[in-house]
Structure 1
Amino acid sequence: MVHSYVMGIGEAEAFSERLKRELLALEAANVHAMLESETLVEEVLQGLEAATHCVDDMDKWLGTFNVKLRRIREDIESIETRNNKLEMQSVNNKALIQELDKLLERLCVPSEYATCLTGGKFDEARMTQNIEACEWLTGALRGLEAPNLDSTYGNMRAVKEKRAELEKLKATFVRRASGFLKKYFANLVDSMMSDKNYFSQRGQLKQPDHADLRYKCRIYAHLLLHLKSLEKNCLRPLRKAYCSSLNLLLRREARDFANELRASTKVSISPTTWLEGSPGGNQIGNSTDTSALSDAYIKMLTIFIPLLVDESSFLAHFMCFEVPALVPPGVGANGNKRGSNDDLGIMNMNSNDSKDDLQSLNESLQDLLDGIH
């Protein structure tokens, strides 16, 4: 604008006036333009207001999304925590199932064993099954006792019920086996006593032979051993029954042998007093009678003393007394080697004496030898 005018220094006022006029014209034109653009301004303001509302809405939505994202993040963390717990629980459940399976195996009673324990027969052909059932029952009972079973399981109802069931099975089997053995011992001796060939007869001295008796008893030696492990007290009546039955046999053998020996020995002495050793008996008058009487005594003692000692030793082994052997293994009471019939092969005697078993053995020996003079 300055270059549009060529003025001198004196024309400065005129120049200033002109500038003022042009400024006023520009301002008037600007106001006019502004008045003409009022509609546009309103539209811009409305747009700005709408944009402000959108920004506010967006801020609210962003706040909402932020809250939701925070909750989702928390949910994800919670899910991860639960997932870790579930994985750990799954591992624990698998371990628990394995332990429960093992426990169920202990609690399960095989049908063949249950049948054998509650109603099986005791003949020789089925003794293997009976022994297997006894071994299983013994192991099952021990498996439900500490320390073989954790105390936590011991308090479980199922374990208590199964233990009661096993105890009932044990009581049933012990009762049945004890009843069978009592009858078996009695019938075995009765069958021998009913056969006269086992005993001395007129004109024939018969040396007692219990090999067959011991063989038939040895069939049930392992059964007695298992009965002792199941219920030790059940052996007392069995020992009593065995000794009472065998005592009848020994007394019959000794009586018949003594009667026949007395009849075959000719001495001048009353037959009712010579073996009894009565102080008031008649004296033997000559050396021949004395020698015959001495030979009779020696023969009687030579046969029956080893027999009674062997029977006592067999009793100690067969009836599972935990006492030292009465004679060295494999050697009879007379110093000779014994046959395999005397060696039960079911237990090794402990050198430490058991006072209870020694007392019980003494009582059984009294029952076994009662009335044998």
Structure 2
Amino acid sequence: MPGLGWTLLYLSKRYLTRKIPNFVNVNTQLLEETIPIDEQSKIKDEDGAEEEDYQALSAREETDLEKMMSQCEFAVSNAEAFTEQLSKDLSMLDGANIHSIMGSEDQVIKLMKSLDDSLLEVDRLEQRLQSYDEMLEGVKTHMELMQQKDSVIQIQNRNRHKLLDELNTLISQLDLSHQHVKSLLDGNLSSPNGILDCTAAAHVLLDKRNVKLHPAFTKMSAVTDQLNLFSNLTKSFATRLSKHLNSLFIQQ
């Protein structure tokens, strides 16, 4: 165990930053007593912690420090002058920084003005885009209406083609040529050629009268007139043929 004198000396050396006190009436052997192993480990640990707090200068910092000290040759001999010179340099740097900040104030103002102008331009662009959207919406509406009209027109065209096809079919079914009508009304029943013409016209008229029409077509005036014409031609030809045959029978 270390003695009290050694302990006081150890604590004085460790924690007093000024002059170490002199011990009076204390045996020097007590002051030179060996430090215990656990105390040595504590001292080493504390010294290691202090060394960990120390941070070495980087290579660039060492170079800058050597350059600055070479410029100030009196740094080693006169620390106060060196410190004063460092303060002056620091003041000059601060002043330069302040001048730089003040010099950049105009640029900052210009930048802010540019940002404000950019925001105004963005607002104008947004308004213009909104107007374009409204115009496109109107165009979309018109396109939809045109598509609807186009579909209606297509339906009308299909219906018109269907109607024309039906009318052409109806006309072809009910059409009787002028030559056949003439043969039925005025055909010569005494000559062989006249008999052939009247026979052909009678067959055509019979086919026309036997055509099956849709009930809706019979309500059309043109169809009704054509059917009446067929009926009249049939009656006229039948009367004329009957008279011709009666005259033949009388002659025979």
Once the two structures are superposed, the pairs formed by residues 195-234 of structure 1 within 5 Å of their partners are 213=252
SS at match of 2:216: helix
Match of 1:156 among 196, 209, 220: 220
CA gap 1:24/1:181 in 2 versus in 1, 3 angstroms? farther
Residue equivalent to 1:225: none
Residue equivalent to 2:165: 98
What is the deviation of 1:150?
0.9
Residue equivalent to 1:120: 187
Once the two structures are superposed, the pairs formed by residues 1-373 of structure 1 within 5 Å of their partners are 32-76=99-143, 86=153, 89-123=156-190, 125=192, 126-143=194-211, 149-182=213-246, 184=247, 188-189=249-250, 191=251, 213=252
Partner AA of 2:189 in structure 1 = F
| RMSD (Å), alpha carbons | 4.4
For 1:76 and 1:25, how far apart are their aligned partners in 2? 73
User: Cα deviations across residues 119-160 of structure 1 (Å, max 9, x unaligned)?
Assistant: 2122252223222222222221232x6xxx112222223222
User: Cα deviations across residues 233-258 of structure 1 (Å, max 9, x unaligned)?
Assistant: xxxxxxxxxxxxxxxxxxxxxxxxxx
Segments of 5+ residues of structure 2 without an aligned counterpart are 1-60, 69-82
For 2:161 and 2:146, how far apart are their aligned partners in 1? 22
User: Cα deviations across residues 46-98 of structure 1 (Å, max 9, x unaligned)?
Assistant: 32222112211221232233334444455555555555555555554444333
Tell which deviates more after alignment, 73-82 or 167-176.
Answer: 73-82
CA gap 1:158/1:29 in 2 versus in 1, 3 angstroms? farther
For 1:27 and 1:165, how far apart are their aligned partners in 2? 122
For 2:173 and 2:90, how far apart are their aligned partners in 1? 114
The answer to whether the 8 Å contact 2:187/2:195 transfers is: no
SS at match of 1:150: coil
CA gap 1:172/1:81 in 2 versus in 1, 3 angstroms? same
What is the deviation of 1:37?
3.8
SS at match of 1:66: helix
SS at match of 1:151: coil
Partner AA of 2:174 in structure 1 = L
Residue equivalent to 1:355: none
Q: TM-score, normalised by structure 2?
A: 0.51
CA gap 1:43/1:117 in 2 versus in 1, 3 angstroms? same
The answer to whether the 8 Å contact 2:173/2:208 transfers is: yes
Partner AA of 1:134 in structure 2 = A
What is the deviation of 1:105?
0.6
What is the deviation of 1:180?
3.7
Segments of 5+ residues of structure 1 without an aligned counterpart are 5-14, 192-212, 214-373
Of Structure 1 and Structure 2, the greater helix share is in 2
Partner AA of 2:173 in structure 1 = R
CA gap 1:33/1:84 in 2 versus in 1, 3 angstroms? same
